[in-house]
Amino acid sequence: MGSLRRTVTRTARSSGHQKVRGVGQGQGWGVRLGRKIERSSGDGEFEKDSDEDSEVFRPPEALTEDSETLAGRDMYGFRTPNKKGQMTQKASESAQAYTPVSKTPKSKKTPVKTPKSVEKKTPKSGKKQTEMVTPAKRKSKVLPRRPETTTPYRLRKRNVADVVDDSSSDSAMSSEEESSSVASSETTGSATVTATTSESTSKTPTKRKMRGDQSALPDMTEEYFLAHSSNQIHTSDRTLARLGRMDQDSLTNMLTDVPNMYRKECAALYREHRALFDKWMLQMCNGFNLLLYGFGSKRPLLEEFRTTVLKGFTSLVINGYFPSITVKNILNSITEDLIEHRGSFRSVTDQCDFIKDHYESGEYEDIFLIIHNIDGSMLRSDKVQTVLSVLAQIRGFHILASIDHINGPLIWDQTKSSRFNWLWYDVTSYNAYTEETSYENSLLVQQSGALALSSLTHVMKSLTPNAREIFMLLVKYQLENKDNASYIGLSFHALYQRCREAFLVNSDLTLKAQLTEFTDHKLIRYKKSVDGVDHLYIPLDEATLTEQQFCRAICGNVTQCNAPLRCECWPNRCG
Partner 1 sequence: MSTAGSVSKACFVFKSKQKKVANPEDYFCHDTSDSTAQTRHRAFHTLWDELNTEIQILQSDLNTRIFDDLIQFTQNASSKFTFDPDDSTHQRVAYEIPTAALVTGVNMPDHDVMFANLISLVREKVSLYVAVLKSNDCPNVKSVMVKSITQLMGNKDMMDDSIDDGDNTTVNIKKINCTMSTLAAWYADKFNKPSSPKKKRSSSGEGIETSRCPPLVIVLEDLEGFPPHVLQDFVLICSNHLTDLPIVLILGIATAVTAVHRVLPHSVSSLLCIERFQAPPSTNYLTQVINKVLMTPRHPFKLDAKVFQLLLDIFLYHDFSVLNFIRGLQFGLMDHFYSNPVSCLCCPLEDSLETVKTLNHQNLEEMRKTASFRKYVESQPSKDQILLLTDDKHLKKVVADLLYSMDNYHRCFFPMLDCLHCLVKKLPKHPLGKQVREVYCECLKGNISETEAYKDAFSLLKAMSKDEMTILLHQCIDRLAQEDVPEELKSIPNNLREFVNRFENLEDLTQTVGDTTGDDENTEALPKKTDMHTLRKTLLERKKKKLTVYEVIRTDTVEYLNEICSKYLACPRSQPLHEIFYYDSASEIRRHINGAPRTAIQTALSNPYFYLQNPSLQGESNSVSPALPDVCIIYKLHLECGRLINMYDWLQAFITLIHTREGAEEEEDPKQPDKKLQARFIRAVSELQFLGFIKPTKRKTDHVARLTWGGC
Instruction: With beta carbons less than 8 A apart as the criterion, state whether 321 and 373 touch.
Output: yes
By CB under 8 A, residue 82 contacts partner 1: yes
Beta bridge partners of 534: 528
Using the contact rule CB under 8 A, the part of the chain among 10-18, 463-471, 507-515, 520-528 near partner 1 is: 10-18
Rounded Cα–Cα distance for residues 247 and 255 (Å): 12
Rounded Cα–Cα distance for residues 123 and 215 (Å): 30
User: Which residues 344-383 are close enough to bind partner 1 by CB under 8 A?
Assistant: 349, 363-366, 383
Residue whose CB is less far from partner 1, 272 or 566: 272
- Shortest spacing between CB 257 and partner 1, in angstroms: 8
Using the contact rule CB under 8 A, the part of the chain among 412-420, 456-464, 465-473, 496-504 near partner 1 is: 412-420
Q: From the list 20, 21, 78, 491, which residue makes contact with partner 1 (rule: CB under 8 A)?
A: 78
- Shortest spacing between CB 129 and partner 1, in angstroms: 7
Beta bridge partners of 292: 402, 425
Binding string, 513-552, against partner 1, x = CB under 8 A?
----------------------------------------
Q: How many CA atoms are closer than 13 Å to the CA of 90, on its beta-carbon side? A: 8
Q: Who's near 575: CB < 8 A, 6+ residues apart?
A: 567
Total residues interacting with partner 1, rule: CB under 8 A: 192
Q: From the list 168, 169, 291, 515, which residue makes contact with partner 1 (rule: CB under 8 A)?
A: 291
- Name which of 424, 393, 408, 426 is nearest 21 in CA terms: 408
Position 51: which residue type? Answer: D
Q: State phi, psi for 293 to the nearest 5 degrees.
A: -135, 180
By CB under 8 A, residue 5 contacts partner 1: no
Residue whose CB is less far from partner 1, 134 or 438: 438
- Shortest spacing between CB 553 and partner 1, in angstroms: 19
- Shortest spacing between CB 489 and partner 1, in angstroms: 17
Q: Which segments within 159-309 are labelled E, that is strand? A: 289-293
Q: Who's near 543: CB < 8 A, 6+ residues apart?
A: 241, 447
Rounded Cα–Cα distance for residues 322 and 189 (Å): 44
- Shortest spacing between CB 174 and partner 1, in angstroms: 12
By CB under 8 A, residue 38 contacts partner 1: yes
Q: From the list 18, 19, 41, 458, which residue makes contact with partner 1 (rule: CB under 8 A)?
A: 41
- Shortest spacing between CB 529 and partner 1, in angstroms: 20
Residue whose CB is less far from partner 1, 335 or 478: 335
Distances (CA, A) of 469 to 35, 190, 521, 545: 73, 63, 17, 15
Using the contact rule CB under 8 A, the part of the chain among 74-82, 135-143, 469-477, 553-561 near partner 1 is: 74-82
By CB under 8 A, residue 265 contacts partner 1: yes
Distance from the first to the final alpha carbon of the chain:
64
By CB under 8 A, residue 330 contacts partner 1: yes
Using the contact rule CB under 8 A, the part of the chain among 413-421, 505-513, 520-528, 546-554 near partner 1 is: 413-421
| Secondary structure letter of residue 372 according to DSSP | E
User: Which residues 125-164 are close enough to bind partner 1 by CB under 8 A?
Assistant: 126-127, 129-132, 149, 151, 153, 156, 159, 163
Burial class (CB in 10 A: 0-12, 13-18, 19+), 186: middle
By CB under 8 A, residue 18 contacts partner 1: no
* Helix H or strand E segment including 91: helix 86-97
Q: From the list 112, 136, 261, 509, which residue makes contact with partner 1 (rule: CB under 8 A)?
A: 261
Rounded Cα–Cα distance for residues 445 and 432 (Å): 16
By CB under 8 A, residue 24 contacts partner 1: yes
Rounded Cα–Cα distance for residues 298 and 374 (Å): 12
Residue whose CB is less far from partner 1, 195 or 563: 195
Position 38: which residue type? Answer: E
SS (H, E, C) 479-548: HHCCCCCCCCCEEHHHHHHHHHHCCCCCCHHHHHHHHHHHHHCCCCEEEECCCCCEEEECCCCHHHHCCH
Q: From the list 121, 138, 146, 211, which residue makes contact with partner 1 (rule: CB under 8 A)?
A: 211
By CB under 8 A, residue 212 contacts partner 1: yes
- Shortest spacing between CB 114 and partner 1, in angstroms: 15
Q: From the list 2, 18, 19, 42, which residue makes contact with partner 1 (rule: CB under 8 A)?
A: 42
Rounded Cα–Cα distance for residues 544 and 247 (Å): 12
Question: With the C-alpha atoms ordered 136, 140, 144, 148, is the resulting torsion angle positive or negative?
Answer: negative
- Shortest spacing between CB 252 and partner 1, in angstroms: 9
Residue whose CB is less far from partner 1, 454 or 560: 454
Instruction: With beta carbons less than 8 A apart as the criterion, state whether 438 and 248 touch.
Output: yes
User: Which residues 445-504 are close enough to bind partner 1 by CB under 8 A?
Assistant: 445-446
By CB under 8 A, residue 295 contacts partner 1: yes
Using the contact rule CB under 8 A, the part of the chain among 178-186, 327-335, 465-473, 519-527 near partner 1 is: 327-335
Binding string, 84-123, against partner 1, x = CB under 8 A?
-xxxxxxxx-xx-xx-x-xx-xx--x--------------
By CB under 8 A, residue 278 contacts partner 1: yes
